[in-house]
């Protein structure tokens, strides 16, 4: 059942070269090389090219490391022998309009909106950069003693310089179960009140401490809809950098049908036939539906892919 193709935001072409993170001197040498490139982000938006094709707008490292708006540098990995880095830029003004280094270099765009426009292998790099830079922006101080912390390990750790504390902090990834719940020829889908009219999706929720994936699937489905799930099968996973989750996709086989929707968790939930789900998939693939017509989420989401898998294989 495991999906062979990586989802959007997965499948990075970079060698993460974790051994280099522990070697500051090697990273400095790489940063100074002419074939090294930097990916700038501003307000967590990624710099991309403009024109007929959309790609990550890699920049030379020398100008950005000297830019006073540039924050700490994150090591993303190696593209062959060449290093790839990322940095976040401060300031209220768009750096592509204020110069000096990025004037006219491209445009800063939200990673979510780029999912369907970037080449598939570049979405993972954008997600990696956004996740790490967002984490550093939110964790400038030691969570144990409050002392301003320092970047370490190429950007994959922050250290507290307070000798009485010395805590080390690592980027967190929050596990989320997302499940296509099915019974015979029906699928259970739900929706949130802030979604566009007509959109339903697979149920999902954060895992609790001390809980297995299977237990989380059964608990979330029962809490939100009153439906009980028996067998749970893993399908695939997707990094979701908003801000830092791992979506663990599953197929859950329901053993009951009666609904008792908890409207504190979801606005609505309902059973849909296979034909209805197929139509909802085709509708969103053809463009944004109008008038509140039932449809699934956009194809870049794992929810869409779980539903599409069930149509063909479930």
Are 156 and 107 in the same domain? Answer: no
Side-chain-side CA neighbours of 166 within 13 Å: the count stands at 2
Structural contact between residues 283 and 190, judged by C-beta atoms closer than 8 angstroms: no
Q: What is the pLDDT of residues 140-149, one digit of tens each?
A: 999 999 999 9
Phi/psi of residue 85, nearest 5 degrees: -125, 170
Structural contact between residues 181 and 221, judged by C-beta atoms closer than 8 angstroms: yes
* pLDDT digit string (tens) for the chain, length 314 residues: 556 678 999 999 999 999 999 999 999 999 999 999 999 999 999 999 988 899 999 999 987 776 667 778 999 999 999 999 999 999 899 999 887 778 889 999 999 999 989 999 999 999 999 999 999 999 999 999 999 999 999 999 999 999 999 999 999 999 999 999 999 999 999 999 999 999 999 999 999 999 999 999 999 999 999 999 999 999 999 999 999 999 999 999 999 999 999 999 999 999 999 999 999 999 998 887 777 899 999 998 999 999 999 999 87
Are 106 and 212 in the same domain? Answer: no
Instruction: Mark which of 172, 195, 225 sits at the end of a domain.
Output: 172
User: At how many degrees (to 10) do helices 274-285 and 302-313 cross?
Assistant: 130
Structural contact between residues 259 and 227, judged by C-beta atoms closer than 8 angstroms: yes
In a domain, 12, yes or no: no
In a domain, 13, yes or no: no
Burial of residue 250 (number of CB atoms within 10 Å: 0-12, 13-18, 19+): buried
Are 154 and 207 in the same domain? Answer: no
d(CA 21, CA 29): 12
* Predicted pLDDT at 291: 74
Instruction: Mark which of 116, 137, 158 sits at the end of a domain.
Output: 137
The CATH number assigned to the domain holding 198 equals 3.90.79.10
- Count other C-beta atoms under 10 Å from residue 105's C-beta: 19
- Specify the pairing of strand 37-42 against strand 82-89: parallel
* Predicted pLDDT at 4: 61
If you average pLDDT over every residue of the chain, what do you get? Answer: 94
* Predicted pLDDT at 179: 98
Based on the structure, what is the number of domains in the chain?
Answer: 3
Task: Report how far apart, in Å, the C-alpha atoms of 69 and of each of 44, 72, 217, 233, 293 are.
Answer: 14, 10, 44, 47, 46
- Specify the pairing of strand 174-183 against strand 245-254: parallel
The CATH number assigned to the domain holding 44 equals 3.90.79
In 3D, which of 306, 93, 85 has the Cα closest to residue 180? 306
Count of residues in the chain: 314
Q: What is the pLDDT of residues 194-237, one digit of tens each?
A: 999 999 999 999 999 999 999 999 999 999 999 999 999 999 99
* Predicted pLDDT at 62: 85
Element (H, E) at 182: strand 174-183
Token pair for 157: 């750790």
In a domain, 60, yes or no: yes
Are 201 and 276 in the same domain? Answer: yes
Beta bridge partners of 83: 78
d(CA 227, CA 224): 8
* Predicted pLDDT at 261: 97
Question: Domain range spanning residue 277?
Answer: 174-313
Are 285 and 198 in the same domain? Answer: yes
Are 211 and 303 in the same domain? Answer: yes
* Predicted pLDDT at 225: 98
Element (H, E) at 233: strand 229-240
In a domain, 4, yes or no: no
Are 133 and 143 in the same domain? Answer: no
In a domain, 219, yes or no: yes
Structural contact between residues 174 and 131, judged by C-beta atoms closer than 8 angstroms: no
């Amino acid at each position: 059942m495991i999906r062979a193709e990586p989802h959007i935001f997965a499948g990075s072409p970079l060698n993460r070269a974790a051994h280099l993170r522990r070697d500051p001197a090697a990273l400095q040498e790489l940063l100074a090389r002419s074939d090294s490139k930097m990916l700038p982000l501003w307000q967590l938006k990624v710099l991309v090219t403009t024109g007929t094709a959309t790609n990550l707008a890699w920049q030379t490292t020398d100008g950005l490391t000297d830019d006073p708006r540039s924050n700490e540098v994150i090591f993303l990995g190696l593209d062959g022998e060449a290093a790839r880095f990322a940095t976040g830029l401060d300031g209220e003004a768009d750096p592509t309009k204020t110069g000096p280094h990025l004037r006219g270099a491209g445009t800063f765009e939200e990673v979510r909106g780029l999912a369907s426009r970037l080449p598939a292998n570049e979405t993972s790099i954008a997600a990696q950069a956004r996740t790490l830079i967002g984490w550093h922006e939110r964790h400038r101080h030691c969570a144990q003693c409050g002392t301003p912390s320092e970047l370490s390990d190429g950007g994959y750790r922050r250290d507290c310089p307070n000798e009485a504390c010395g805590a080390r902090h690592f980027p967190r990834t929050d596990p989320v179960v997302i499940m296509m719940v099915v019974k015979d020829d029906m699928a259970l889908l739900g929706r949130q009140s802030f979604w566009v009219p007509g959109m339903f999706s697979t149920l999902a929720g954060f895992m609790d401490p001390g809980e297995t994936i299977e237990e989380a699937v059964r608990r979330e489905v029962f809490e939100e809809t009153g439906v009980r799930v028996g067998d749970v099968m893993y399908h695939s996973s997707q990094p979701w950098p908003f801000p830092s989750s791992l979506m663990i996709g599953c197929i859950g086989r329901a053993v009951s049908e009666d609904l008792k929707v908890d409207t504190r968790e979801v606005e609505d939930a309902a059973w849909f036939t296979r034909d209805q789900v197929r139509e909802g998939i085709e509708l969103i693939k053809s463009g944004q539906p109008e008038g509140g017509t039932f449809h699934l989420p956009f194809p870049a989401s794992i929810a869409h892919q779980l539903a599409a898998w069930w149509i063909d294989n479930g």
